[in-house]
Amino acid sequence: MKVTDNKAQPFNFSKLRGRTVELGLRNKDVAEAINMSETTYSYKLNCRSEFTSSEISAICDFLNIPVDDIPLYFFTTEVQNFEPKKGE
C-alpha cells in the first residue's frame, strides 16, 4: 500500500501584508500589538508555523479586518506554477 503525503498547501498572506503596508505599519508593529515576537510573526507569515484563532482575531481587531474577510486574509492557498516538461 502506498502512503501519500497530504501536506496542506501553504497559505498566501499577501493580502494581510498589503493591509499592513496600507495602514503604514510594519510587521513589527502588528507583532507587538498582538503580544508576539517579530520572529514568530515572520515564521507564521512565511508558513513555517500556523496562526491560532485567537491570533487571527487579534490581528483582525488591530488591522480593522472584518470577520467576513478572514478567509481572504488568512486562508487563501498559494497558487502553484506548473511548467510542463519539454515535449508535453
Residue type, 69: D
DSSP SS3 for 69: helix
Which residues, given as ranges, of the chain have pLDDT below 50? 1-6
pLDDT of residue 56: 98
Domain ranges in the chain are 14-73
DSSP label of 48: S
d(CA 61, CA 66): 8
Which residues, in sequence order, are bridge partners of residue 11?
77
Rg (CA), the chain: 16
In order of 1, 53, 73, 85, the CA distances from 57 in angstroms are 42, 6, 12, 43
Q: What is residue 85's predicted lDDT score, i.e. its pLDDT?
A: 66
What number does CATH give the domain 14-73? 1.10.260.40
Output the pLDDT for position 54. Answer: 98
**pLDDT reported for residue 78:** 74
pLDDT at site 67: 96
Give the per-residue pLDDT at 80: 60
